[in-house]
Structure 1
């Protein structure tokens, strides 16, 4: 039965975390169809795929490498076309506590881009003191990724200036802040397979295509009109 968004469970309305650490803000809505979740900090809408933010599959918002000015009210917005519901979550960022470097990222992470176009990859690091980040090819730390004609390295973000076959493969983000061991995160860079090229290279993937639309045949008589989907 179609239904507007409604709170499933009452979330934690105030979340506390330390400067340099990580906070996860949750809002739990259900509806039919399932609502799309977005977040705002004050009046500013948050891009859950950029900066220090990550929008999780369940609608939770993860914020890493916290600063004091991250303190404030975050508004979760659930919209499924039949209605809109909101929930306010208060985030408090406390004094920093020394913690080893950590990385918020999925295992077996994959990023796919267009051959011949730039591609950026972000490593969501946190900890205190704030971690130093090093990128390298595969698992070989001697193959560092630095600023040159191929790459642009910006701390926890690196950019492949022109995605090419020889830039595809695995990259490692290493984060270290002098506390404990270094944290590692591995991401595989792939590209969309050019049209008309057939290859078994696993780093070239076909584009997702919509299923073909059904053919529509219209038959009419003097008394009625029917549409048949084949």
Structure 2
């Protein structure tokens, strides 16, 4: 029904104010949820990892949740990692168990306008059941320590038939190189190259090999990004104090732990 405006209302807000009110009403169109990333069916290996990625858009911004048989997933081996203000969520299952984890999982996106659901099937095989060509990680990423602003390269090589596609996860969330303005690139070899490293690049990285036969995850590897002031501190006679990141989960420089040993090389993580 169209709004009716009395002369008294127009006289109070004025013609310009009335125009702005009508414009605001026209711009406040609500939209039901719509998926922009849908989870795909997966074939995993027992003892391995499976991750389903789901994201939706809408107005108001929808909330994404994961269900199994119509009920919210609830297990120590199941973890839901939200992103983009909960309009996206990754369902991670680790370690995979067969046959108990084989099921159809439901991604639900809901806002005040509506609700939509998309399904993804998980199949879990034992190692002795794997078909020919199932992906294999030939070389996974390794622990790396890099100085801030330097380039870090996380290596990955995989084989299978057909040739597997390699993707990356950081802290259990998918890495999207296209969102980094060219700073993060995935090389043709499958390696992940991070230029001008920042502290936000620090985290746990996994490479994932996927083909029509299934999905295989590498072992995770940590990337540590440290400031130049820490390298200078290591070169001196004193060791980093509690104000340094080494006191908050990063490995202490070996030169501090044992003066007879040298520190880690920032670019490779190897002893120098």
TM range (shorter): 0.3 to 0.5
TM-score, length of structure 1 as denominator length = 0.42
Higher gyration radius (CA): 2
Q: TM-score, normalised by structure 2?
A: 0.36
Q: Larger helix proportion, structure 1 or 2?
A: 2
